[in-house]
Amino acid sequence: MDSLRGQLLIAGPGLVDPNFRRTVVLVAAHDDDGAVGVVLNRPTETTVAEAVPPLSSLVGPDDPLYLGGPVQPGSPVLLAEFADPDRPDVPVMGAIGFVTDEMAEDAVSTIRRARVFAGHAGWGPGQLEGELADDGWIIEPALPDDVFADPVVDLWRTVVGRKGPAFRLLQTMPYDPSLN
């Protein structure tokens, strides 16, 4: 399978794991060793200023901390769009990528927009491919505005809608179909 770096994983209707139900995951890396990404649409009620004060200057004053996934939820992950596409430590798409080390002051000044996540999502070798074969995920190319969507709560429905008429029923399905 080709690398899914820079793609979105849209949780399919059969994916009921509470960590991923109705999520949209941006894939940061994908190779024979597995895959890693962040859940884009799980804001918390905690602000970045409360949780990770040193990173609060990179986002808005009241921006929420996002739950990036169940792996290492105590570790902050910074995803940013830079003016210079060579700035991210882990490039994902275009000028968007992750910062892994302490940034140089001149790099900070080139950030256009950023989000901070608590933890990330990860898959071991072959695990994501198995979930894809079981229709757990739907793949869609990521757009820069998906990464920084506002309101983020509508991202799953928006991205499913881009898949076209065949996905219209899924797009309108309630979170809990038994309530229908």
C-alpha to C-alpha distance for 112 and 83, rounded to whole angstroms: 6
How confident is the model at residue 139, as a pLDDT?
96
pLDDT, average across residues 75-85: 93
Phi, psi of 120 (to 5 degrees): -150, 175
Task: Give the pLDDT band (50/70/90) at residue 166.
Answer: confident
Mark residue 137 as left, alpha or beta (left: phi above 0; alpha: psi -120 to 50; beta: remaining). beta
What does the domain layout of the chain look like in residue ranges?
Answer: 7-179
Mean pLDDT, the chain, rounded, equals: 90
The predicted structure's pLDDT at residue 177: 58
What is the fold, at CATH topology level, of the domain defined by 7-179?
VC0467-like (3.40.1740)
Quote helix, strand, coil % in the chain, to nearest 5: 25, 35, 35
Contact of 28 with 92, CB cutoff 8 Å = yes
User: 7-47 pLDDT, tens per residue?
Assistant: 999 999 888 899 999 999 999 999 999 999 999 999 999 99
By the 8 A CB rule, do 96 and 89 touch? no
More confident residue, 56 or 170: 56
**What gap in Å lies between CA 160 and CA 168, rounded to an integer?**
8
Cα separation, 25 vs 147, in Å, equals: 9
